[in-house]
Structure 1
């Protein structure tokens, strides 16, 4: 569905980068990545294809299957338990 929306916006307005930058923002916030050296929309407007490649590599490096999409990976990774954060140093 998202691909169809992206293609429709691209064909009608040629500003599909404004739609696709929302996913970059979502990805960056989800993994607490810095918005550096420029804003998400700037990256997508300058070179949208490079931005998509970066996002795909980031997801693959974190163990996500890009072919499953957002929903498929959300179900897969929601069952993974995270280790508790340890405050301060451990003592014997």
Structure 2
């Protein structure tokens, strides 16, 4: 039934030399410590239900989700459709059909593809269908954590990047030279 092994296969280790062992497995490393889960995709910088990591955005999203959606869409679309246009389209879809989640989930998919973000346990449309506001807040935080100033849009962010401006200074806070710190 099985092919016979060559005669020397049985006698190969009869001289007392043990057979080679399989290489020892690499020590277990949890994907969280590597920054990338198995499969090579990047984890979201914050969780879906971490809305209170940015309470201001959470409040705005609860009161008027079209603002948050417009800001996210402006960055994801790289300025091709301005914030006001995307937000107005989202508001119109929500007002007429109540299905803004079907429009906004497309932007989550675009964002995940652009930044190689993992999908998670639920597909994008289901995340937006069940947790629309949480999904919008997570997408906003992700872009903010990637260095975008969400209040100024794509064009102004690209202008800042071109000029080499890393971030904005807190108003009223004096600039402290590094050499004068104790």
| Other-structure match for 1:45 | 129
When Rg is computed on C-alpha atoms for both structures, the one with the higher figure is 2
* TM-score w.r.t. length of structure 1: 0.75
When the two structures are superposed, what TM-score results if normalisation uses the length of structure 2? 0.40
- The 5-angstrom pairing of residues 41-80 of structure 1 reads 41-69=125-153, 71-72=154-155, 75-76=158-159
- Separation in 2, partners of 1:77, 1:36: 33
Higher RCO structure (Cα 8 Å, ≥6 apart) = 2
Q: Which runs of 5+ in 2 are unaligned?
A: 1-84, 163-182
Question: Cα offset for 1:75?
Answer: 3.1
Alpha-carbon deviation of 1:60? 1.0
- Alpha-carbon distance change, 62 to 77 in structure 1, aligned in 2, over 3 angstroms: farther
Tell me how many residue pairs correspond in the alignment: 79
Any gaps of 5 or more consecutive residues in structure 1?
80-92
Q: Distance in 2 between matches of 1:14 and 1:40?
A: 17
Question: Alignment RMSD, CA only?
Answer: 2.1
State which of 73, 83, 87 in structure 2 corresponds to 1:3. 87
What CA deviation, in whole Å up to 9, does each residue of 1:32-65 have, x standing for no partner? 0111111111100001000011011111111011
1:66, CA displacement in angstroms? 1.2
